[in-house]
């Protein structure tokens, strides 16, 4: 059974909305899936992302906020029975079929990648695969007890001002970064980190590498004492580099930064 | 190098494939899925294509040379192209063979050369590294739960407990093309690399993996076996595969020495 949101005002039920698409928008503007015509509600107030049996609520930077069970939330994984309050309106989340913990036999499934702008959940169940694979619409398929791996799409990040940056995808290149020397004879010199692995330092004295990974740039000690990042030793593991971090290696200080 | 793959306790067949080739400095772990027996076909195809491509195209003289355009070494690009080739092969087979419909596979592939490691990664199989008494996950899962963590709906801790773990957002062979995550890492003597399928990482926490490697690390075969036993003891709900690799000593790409001959001795 499809999960749904039940809209009510002052205890009186107004309408039910089945969560049968990947993105269900809530707001004052008429184009919203759940249209609440009240000034306390922002034009684009919130978004519910539904993936298989689970739904996720995200406030889209609304003026008056989104509350779940009395608590102000930006992002929230909905649980059966949750009450979402938007202005004076309430939306109750009903999901009788929420994923249970008794899912040991569920095999891994594939969620169809890539189609960020074209929501398409397609499930491949058991051997009977292809029929559901290329649906253009965003129908949610119930997850059978012993599902094989499935292919589906993860919806796009909402284009809201308060939305965080989209989830990292390796086909979206990490922004280029650089290090700039802050002291010594080479002061001002810049090195763009164009390579997947950039070696810094003096061989035989102190060497570190900066590696480019999906989630960012990481510095790792390779030879000699570990480099300092913002004056702190980094230890044996790769250490994530953040904007304006200062790396100190063999007496040379360098600042890490992203290029735009 | 040591590798173990096991059907687990709840499945009737093993859809994982592992291949290690110390001569090439190559290790591949694939966790297949979908279709009637399609999973094992997909993972085997992926592993075979990877090994074949690397064997055929690896040029030791230039493997560490960096491509200007992408910033990756030849080795990394070789891995990327081989994964692409594997994708074609699986995708085509899936459309030609009815019993393979909908099949795909995860993939972690490691290529060691010149004190360096190139990693190609698709799906929720993982690569860990133990160095300096700490364990670090080097790959980031292509899974729904990871996406939800990235987007702030869950903390990693909540994600561990979450039920819908088994949704993979990227796999080899399900679409006409696939994008592999490529990564290059410096390799230091003493490093232990662990590639595993989700049959291990879903059931055994990082800390316990690390503890097992600390206890049994002197003998990688035994350590791999212990990890599989640990997963099985905790339910063995999926096929479990583990590859363990230890770098024994530096393996720089000296110009004249045929380091290919030596690579065999660099790993256990």
Question: For the segment B244-259, what is each residue's pLDDT rounded down to a tens digit?
Answer: 999 887 777 654 444 4
Total residue length of chain B: 268
Measured between CB atoms, does B136 come within 8 Å of chain A? yes
Whether residues B168 and A110 touch (CB distance < 8 A) is answered with yes
pLDDT of B59-94, one tens digit each?
887 899 999 999 999 999 999 999 999 999 999 999
The mean per-residue pLDDT over the stretch B17-44 comes to: 91
Chain B nearest-CA residue for A195: B71
Work out the number of other CB atoms within 10 angstroms of the CB of residue A215. 13
Residue of A105, A164, A213 with shortest CB distance to B183:
A213
Chain A nearest-CA residue for B77: A196
Pick from A165, A149, A174, A114: nearest CA to B179: A114
The pLDDT value given to residue B237: 85
User: From start to end of chain B, where are the E strands?
Assistant: 2-6, 16-21, 26-33, 104-105, 107-113, 116-122, 126-131, 134-137, 167-168, 181-186, 192-196, 240-246
The pLDDT value given to residue B148: 82
Determine which of A56, A74, A110, A195 to mutate to test the interface with B (most B C-beta atoms within 10 Å).
Answer: A110
For the ranges A8-17, B2-11, B119-128, the lowest mean pLDDT is seen at B2-11
The pLDDT value given to residue A158: 35
The pLDDT value given to residue A141: 33
Q: What are phi and psi of B156, to 5 degrees?
A: -55, -35
> What ipTM score was computed for the predicted complex, to two decimals?
0.83
Residue of B76, B154, B180 with shortest CB distance to A196:
B76
Helix (H, G, I), strand (E, B) or coil at B70: coil
The mean per-residue pLDDT over the stretch B149-172 comes to: 79
CA angle at residue B93 from B92 to B99, to 5 degrees?
135
Does pLDDT of B223 surpass 90?
yes
Secondary structure (DSSP) of chain A: ---EEEEEETTEEEEEEE--SSEEEEESSTTSSEE---TTS-SS-EEEEEETTEEEEEE-S-SS-EEETTEEESEEE--TT-EEEETTEEEEEE-TTPPPS--TTPPPEEPPPS-SSS------BTTB-GGGTT-SS-PPPPPPTT-------PPPPP--TTPPPPPP-TTSPPPPEEEEE-SSTTTT-EEE--SSEEEEEETTTEEEEEEEETTEEEEEEEESSPPEETTEE--SS-EE--TT-EEEETTEEEEEEE--
Measured between CB atoms, does B207 come within 8 Å of chain A? no
Cα separation of B209 and B204, whole Å? 7
Q: Kindly report the nearest CA distance between residue B238 and chain A, in angstroms.
A: 8
The whole-chain average pLDDT of chain B stands at: 88
The pLDDT value given to residue A107: 63
Mean pLDDT, consecutive 10-residue stretches, chain A (260 aa), reads 91 93 94 95 94 88 95 92 95 79 54 39 28 28 38 41 38 80 91 93 89 93 91 91 94 92
Q: Would you give the DSSP letter of residue B178? A: -
Distances (CA, A) of A6 to A86, B78, B143: 13, 54, 30
The pLDDT value given to residue A60: 95
Does pLDDT of B178 surpass 80?
yes
Chain B nearest-CA residue for A132: B102
Measured between CB atoms, does B176 come within 8 Å of chain A? no
All domains in chain B, ordered by first residue: 2-266 (3.60.40.10)
Q: Are A167 and A155 in contact (CB under 8 A)?
A: no
Q: Which residues of A touch B132 (CB under 8 A)?
A: 235-237
The pLDDT value given to residue B162: 67
Determine which of B8, B32, B34 to mutate to test the interface with A (most A C-beta atoms within 10 Å).
Answer: B34
Helix (H) or strand (E) holding B160: helix B156-161
Q: Kindly report the nearest CA distance between residue A228 and chain B, in angstroms.
A: 17
Q: Which residues of B touch A213 (CB under 8 A)?
A: 138, 140, 183
Total residue length of chain A: 260
Helix (H, G, I), strand (E, B) or coil at B261: helix
Whether residues A114 and B175 touch (CB distance < 8 A) is answered with yes
The pLDDT value given to residue B85: 97
Q: Kindly report the nearest CA distance between residue B196 and chain A, in angstroms.
A: 15
Q: Is A204 exposed, middle or buried (0-12, 13-18, 19+ CB in 10 A)?
A: exposed
Does pLDDT of B264 surpass 60?
no
Whether residues A110 and B152 touch (CB distance < 8 A) is answered with no
The mean per-residue pLDDT over the stretch B194-222 comes to: 93
Q: Which residues of A touch B189 (CB under 8 A)?
A: none
Read off the pTM. Answer: 0.78
Q: Are A196 and B71 in contact (CB under 8 A)?
A: yes
Cα separation of A22 and A47, whole Å? 10
Taking the CA atoms of chain B, what radius of gyration do you get in angstroms? Answer: 18
Percentage of chain B lying above the pLDDT 90 cut: 64
Whether residues A236 and B179 touch (CB distance < 8 A) is answered with no
Q: Are B243 and B196 in contact (CB under 8 A)?
A: yes
């Amino acid at each position: 059974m499809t999960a749904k949101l039940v809209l009510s005002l002052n205890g009186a039920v107004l309408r039910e909305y089945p969560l049968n698409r990947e993105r269900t928008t809530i707001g004052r503007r008429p184009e919203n899936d759940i249209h609440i015509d009240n000034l306390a509600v922002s034009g684009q107030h919130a978004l519910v992302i539904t993936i298989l049996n689970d739904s996720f609520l995200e406030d889209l930077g609304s003026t008056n906020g989104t509350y779940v069970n009395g608590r102000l939330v930006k992002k929230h994984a909905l649980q059966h029975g949750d009450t979402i309050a938007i202005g004076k309106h309430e939306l109750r989340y009903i999901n009788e079929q929420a994923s249970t913990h008794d899912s040991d036999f569920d095999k891994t499934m594939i969620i169809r990648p890539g189609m960020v702008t074209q929501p398409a959940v397609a499930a491949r169940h058991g051997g009977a695969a292809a029929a559901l694979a290329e649906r253009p619409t965003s129908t949610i398929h119930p997850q059978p007890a012993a599902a094989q791996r499935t292919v589906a799409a993860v919806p796009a990040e909402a284009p809201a001002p308060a939305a965080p940056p989209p989830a990292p995808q390796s086909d979206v290149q990490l922004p280029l970064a650089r290090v700039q020397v802050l002291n010594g004879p080479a002061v001002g010199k810049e090195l763009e980190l164009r390579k997947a692995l950039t070696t810094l330092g003096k061989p035989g004295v102190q060497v570190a590498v900066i590696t480019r990974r999906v989630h960012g740039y990481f510095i790792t000690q390779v030879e000699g004492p570990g480099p300092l990042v913002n004056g702190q030793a980094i230890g044996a593991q790769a250490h994530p580099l953040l904007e304006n971090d200062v790396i100190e290696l063999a007496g040379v200080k360098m600042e890490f930064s992203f290029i735009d | 190098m040591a590798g173990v793959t096991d059907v687990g306790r709840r499945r009737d067949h093993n859809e994982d494939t592992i291949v290690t080739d110390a001569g090439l400095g190559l290790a591949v772990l694939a966790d297949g899925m979908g279709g009637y027996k399609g999973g094992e076909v997909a993972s085997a195809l992926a592993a075979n294509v990877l090994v074949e491509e690397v064997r055929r195209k690896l040029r030791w003289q230039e493997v560490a040379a960096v491509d200007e355009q992408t910033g990756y070494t030849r080795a990394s690009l070789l891995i990327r192209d081989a994964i692409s080739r594997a994708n074609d092969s699986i995708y085509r087979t899936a459309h030609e063979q009815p019993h393979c419909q909908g099949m795909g596979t995860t993939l972690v592939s490691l290529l060691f050369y010149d004190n360096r490691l190139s990693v190609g990664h698709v799906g929720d199989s993982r690569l860990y590294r133990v160095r300096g008494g700490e364990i670090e996950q080097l790959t980031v899962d292509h899974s729904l739960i990871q996406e939800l963590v990235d987007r702030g709906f869950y903390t990693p801790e909540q994600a561990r407990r979450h039920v819908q773990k088994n949704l993979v957002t990227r796999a080899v062979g399900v679409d006409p093309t696939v994008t592999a995550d490529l990564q290059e890492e410096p390799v230091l003597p003493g490093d232990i690399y662990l590639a595993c399928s989700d049959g291990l990482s879903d059931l055994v926490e990082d800390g316990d993996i690390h503890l097992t490697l600390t206890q049994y690390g002197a003998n990688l075969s035994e350590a791999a076996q212990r990890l599989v036993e640990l997963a099985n003891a905790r339910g063995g709900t999926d096929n479990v595969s583990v590859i363990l690799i230890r770098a024994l000593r530096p393996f720089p790409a000296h110009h004249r020495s045929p380091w290919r001959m030596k690579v065999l001795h660099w790993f256990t």
